[in-house]
Chain A
Amino acid sequence: MTEVLKRDEVVAARGVRVTFGAVKALDGADLVIHSGECVGLVGHNGAGKSTIVNVINGGLTPHEGTITYGGQDERGISAARANGVRCVFQELSLCPNLTVTENARIMHPDLKGWNWRSGALALVEAHLQEIFPGHSIDGDSTVDDLSIAERQMVEIAISFAGTDKKPKLVILDEPTSSLDAGLAAQLMAYIRKFVSEGGSVLLISHILGEILSTSDRIVVMKDGRVTADRAAGEFSTRSLVEAMGNVVREQEWARAAATKTGEPVLSMPPRRGHGLAFEAYRGEMIGLAGLGGHGQTEALLDLYLDRNSNWWPTRRREIAFVAGDRSLNGTFPLWSILKNLSVASLGQLSTNRMVDRMREETLGESWKKRIEIRTPDMDNRILSLSGGNQQKVLFARALATTADIVLMDDPMRGVDIGTKQEVYDILRSEAANGRTFIWYSTEMDEIRLCDRVYVFREGAIMEELIGEDITEKNILAASFSEGAAA
């Protein structure tokens, strides 16, 4: 019995642990995929879905645990590819300047010879026709000229295609995010066919209908572990949502008594022409929830850029921004901690456009004390700080300004729990002083700290939750669409 199972394994990850700094992305997760099955993988933000996908496709080496392909212990991207593992990522990995067939050439190094063009064309055409019958994609058109849905279709077709070796396992991460219902149904039907011929698929989607109808088995992840792993038939939409939620907690937080008082300080019409409008009032702490990448960051950027001139220094700042991705759009790596902290408040620190070093240092010292930045010297490089302390500097940068509204783009990602508590307390007291916080967070505990929550799905606000209604269950239910796909 075990012999049979062993041979059937395409990929097996057992007891995998991956940590990023203080964060345990995977905490002893097991995921075994056999040939001839479609496994659905669900979980909320930070559950570890993308981390385990990266472990399986060889992009990440686990710090603990084993990863085997067909029973063999191998490591690395090329090993994964050699064992027939293919991956369709959410961000498109085609070359936009090349044609469809040329992309197939790059993805399939074994398309050789003088006549590779016709070979590649035939390969792509055949698979496109098989997966999406009736499509109208020309194999000679440049990827740039295709619509987003068409690009996604091409990428899926190229991944399922195989010249000498057919792929054994195709990982689809939100494959239907830009396909309409008809195309999604075609894809789901093809997955079933592919699986029935002995291939395997790992399917990640926020549309639970797709997961329930297409998968043989559903794996639910939470906090870096697999919490449920059962046949798809044993789940319903409701029980899936419940399985994704937390069991313990409900430690509550004294919310501001009155919300929505007076005129809104910030408002925005419904996004993408549907859903709810956005409004924020003085002293409110507003959460933006939903699965990552469903338009929360874009909403924050729109709110911010509308109120900030790109040409003239603004006399009085009314809005500040705390970036989530420190290295990408937060810190200035060449600068000291102090300069990173003061950059947004230079106007109030200078006379005649010259920065007053004394006032700058006073500001730095006061924030160093208040938010407890752990450094011997504020003139040290920002990169000498730990991630959590860098994040504190970014908070201090926004809070040190005179701005009444602070936008936060998932700022606590990857920050240890102690730091989090310290920052929460400061946020709370600042809100009590009349500051408005708009907080996009992928962590449920943080969303539950807010007075009011907007849940995003597919770029628009789908649900507004107030006070006691802000529960994990309600948020999960609003972020996953039931949408019966196939």
Chain B
Amino acid sequence: MTPHRFLLGKPWIWSFAATVIVWIITVLFTGGASSFGLSQAALTFAAFSVIVGIGQMFVITLGPGNIDLSVPATMTLSGTLALKLMDVQDGMILVGLLASIGIGLIVGLGNYVLIKLLRIPPIIATLSMSFIIQSVAIWSNRGLRIKPPEMLANFTTSDLFGIPNVALVAFLLSVLAWVLLEKSIYGRWISAIGQSMFAARMASIPVDGTRLVTYMLCAVLAALCGYLLASFSGGAALNMGSEYLLLSIAVVVIGGTAVAGGNSNIPGIWGASLFLFLVVSMLNTYGFGAGFRLILTGLIIIVVILLAGGRQSFR
């Protein structure tokens, strides 16, 4: 195996290399004083995009046209309802968690029912679903900001041996997702469906069942992320999910998952999430504003997709 082929086979290496470079540049600028704090912040914020990103990645792996736009609404609803249910009581933490997962399951089921029953593309099904979820969230929130139970808030904001707890949770979920993707029958199935739905059907893969499970998995991960994010930031806000709509897709694409489906990449999501956060902090430390930050993010996505597209046609 030549090094060239090794690199082509592991597209996530690029995002990690970029992450390290940006980290070094940022730390150099601040004279090394901030290296620990910067790493911790990066891990914390990357954790949230990793959790939603994994779900989005499973959906995108299903092939062209598969995308879940209901992610931000699901996050908001889950965060809002869970906090309301827990009502600042430490004893209710588990109940809140189960409620979040339940919300995810229902949203995912709803999404796929719409896709299948109305025969509409996932993008419009999840879009109309997200409108409804968002309304439910607004209605249940009523502008009140309920605090998370103290134990939960402490858990999400503290760290273990210097590594933020949320990052550990995200890491645990990534390992589970990786096992699911690489080792289980289900992982083979979604990859097969993403490469050719018809061929998958003819290889006796239960296509509809697998897709349903995938949409539910994505929604559950989004709900889980909403639960953690609301606890981390001391309460649910109605717009807390909004930036994750584009971000969840962006980390998947930059992380080296094939947009055409069939090929997914979990380490890449970590690389891309860390990278995007560090680019933001780097531009901040150098005094650039939000505008440059956004433009750079967009250009990165376009360059990555141009390169990735080229690699595909090269084969």
Contact = CB atoms under 8 A, between A and B. Distances in A.
Given A329-B199, A334-B195, A334-B263, A355 B209 contact: no
A253 interface: no
B229 interface: no
B202 A321 contact: yes
A401 B200 CA distance: 15
Contacts of B205: 343
Given A323-B199, A339-B188, A355-B184, A332 B206 contact: no
Interface string A288-305: 000000000000000011
A329 B196 contact: yes
A344 B206 CA distance: 11
B204 A308 contact: yes
Interface stretch (A25-33, A51-59, A310-318): A310-318
Nearest to A307: B204
A162 interface: no
B145 interface: no
Contacts of A317: 204
Given A329-B196, A332-B196, A346-B185, A310 B206 contact: yes
A335 B202 contact: no
B311 to A, nearest CB: 12
A354 B188 CA distance: 10
Contacts of A314: 204, 206
Contacts of A397: 203
Nearest to A343: B203
A149 B209 CA distance: 38
A397 B204 CA distance: 11
A331 B203 contact: no
A309 B184 CA distance: 20
B262 A344 contact: no
A133 interface: no
B272 interface: no
Contact of A355 (B183, B195, B200): B183
B64 to A, nearest CB: 14
A8 to B, nearest CB: 46
A309 B205 CA distance: 8
A354 B181 CA distance: 10
Given A310-B209, A335-B191, A383-B315, A354 B184 contact: yes
A309 B206 CA distance: 6
Contacts of B186: 353
B258 A353 contact: no
Nearest to A356: B183
B191 A344 contact: no
Contact of A312 (B185, B203, B206): B206
A5 B44 CA distance: 83
Given A347-B185, A353-B186, A329 B206 contact: no
B192 interface: yes
A333 interface: yes
Interface string B243-268: 00000000000000010001100000
A277 B286 CA distance: 78
Contacts of A308: 201, 204
A118 interface: no
Nearest to A403: B204
Contacts of B202: 304, 321, 323, 329-330
Given A344-B203, A344-B204, A311 B209 contact: yes
A421 to B, nearest CB: 26
B150 interface: no
Given A308-B204, A320-B204, A332 B184 contact: no
A355 B188 contact: yes
A339 to B, nearest CB: 7
Nearest to B207: A310
A330 B192 CA distance: 11
Among A314, A317, A343, the one with the most B-chain Cβ atoms within 10 Å of its Cβ is: A343
A350 interface: yes
A308 B204 CA distance: 7
A319 B202 CA distance: 10
Contact of A350 (B185, B200, B258): B185
Given A334-B258, A397-B203, A343 B192 contact: yes
Given A347-B185, A353-B184, A383-B315, A332 B204 contact: no
Contacts of A401: 204
A314 B202 CA distance: 13
Contacts of A353: 184-186
Contacts of A311: 206, 208-209, 212
B198 interface: yes
B201 A335 contact: no
Interface string A255-286: 00000000000000000000000000000000
Given A310-B209, A346-B185, A330 B315 contact: no
A365 B198 CA distance: 27
Nearest to B262: A334
Given A332-B191, A346-B188, A310 B208 contact: yes
B117 to A, nearest CB: 14
B184 to A, nearest CB: 5
Among B198, B199, B212, B263, the one with the most A-chain Cβ atoms within 10 Å of its Cβ is: B199
A392 to B, nearest CB: 16
Among B184, B192, B204, B262, the one with the most A-chain Cβ atoms within 10 Å of its Cβ is: B204
A347 B188 CA distance: 11
Interface in B261-283: 262-263
A373 B102 CA distance: 48
A303 to B, nearest CB: 12
B1 to A, nearest CB: 11
B119 to A, nearest CB: 14
Nearest to A407: B202
Contact of B188 (A330, A331, A343, A383): A343
A353 B258 CA distance: 25
Given A334-B191, A355-B183, A313 B196 contact: no
Interface string A385-418: 0000000000001000100000000000000000
A454 B207 CA distance: 31
Contacts of A355: 183-185, 188
A274 B185 CA distance: 43
Contacts of B192: 332, 335, 343
Nearest to B179: A354
Contact of A313 (B183, B200, B209, B315): B209
A15 B209 CA distance: 54
B206 A313 contact: yes
Interface of B: 179, 183-186, 188, 191-192, 195-196, 198-209, 212, 258, 262-263, 315
12 contacts: A310-B201, A314-B204, A323-B202, A328-B196, A328-B199, A329-B198, A331-B199, A334-B263, A339-B188, A347-B185, A354-B179, A354-B184
For the complex of A and B, the 6 pairs showing the least CB-CB separation, nearest first, are A311-B209, A332-B195, A310-B208, A344-B203, A346-B185, A321-B202
Given A311-B212, A333-B195, 14 more contacts: A304-B202, A313-B206, A313-B209, A320-B204, A328-B199, A330-B202, A332-B196, A334-B262, A335-B192, A343-B203, A346-B188, A350-B185, A353-B184, A354-B184
